[in-house]
Amino acid sequence: MSSNRLHQAEKIDTQARNSLLKPNAQLDHALSNSEANGLPAITISALQGQYLAIQCKLINAKSVLEIGTLGGYSTIWFASTGAKVTSIEIDAKHRDVALENTKGLDVDIILGAALDVLPRLAAQGRKFDFVFIDAAWQE
């Protein structure tokens, strides 16, 4: 991509961010708390979070399954739609930070490998309207 096109794309991104996103203290806290706890800076962007939330609203999702919680940033976006969020996280530290970051929301963060947890959820008859996989890209 040429530097002029890159500059234009950055301007469009800035404009979209400024016009579409409202300040959200819980999201801001999740980012800063995740960084303070040494979590990797690999979370989705705010615009991606807004996009995912819109997708959930469009289908009137009541239950969301998220595989890969990290610090709970995308989890907060899903919960902002009013959906019950079940998130699976393999790393205990990430899960603990995510629990802090999502306090007060209708969120259940399960510690474990998705390949182990998913059969248990299925056996419980759990069904989800929206599934977001942001982990274990190799599997």
Q: Is it the case that residue 15 has pLDDT exceeding 90?
A: no
Residue predicted with more confidence, 3 or 133:
133
Is 31 among the domain residues? Answer: yes
Beta bridge partners, 85, equal 64, 107
Q: Rounded to whole angstroms, how far apart are CA atoms 64 and 130?
A: 5
Domain range holding 38? 24-133
Global confidence as pTM = 0.86
Question: Is-contact 58 123, C-beta < 8 A?
Answer: no
Is 128 among the domain residues? Answer: yes
Is 5 among the domain residues? Answer: no
The share of the chain scoring above pLDDT 70, in percent, equals 96
Average pLDDT over residues 53-63: 98
Residue with tokens 């510690």: 111
Q: What share of the chain is helix, strand, coil (3-state, %, to 5)?
A: 50, 15, 35
Domain count, the chain: 1
Query: Which two structure tokens, joined as six digits, stand for 61?
Result: 């999702």
Question: Is-contact 20 47, C-beta < 8 A?
Answer: yes
Give the domain CATH number at 41. 3.40.50.150
Predicted confidence (pLDDT) per residue in 95-126, tens digit: 999 999 999 999 999 999 999 999 999 999 99
Is 94 among the domain residues? Answer: yes
Is 3 among the domain residues? Answer: no
Cβ contacts of residue 137 below 8 Å, gap of 6+? none
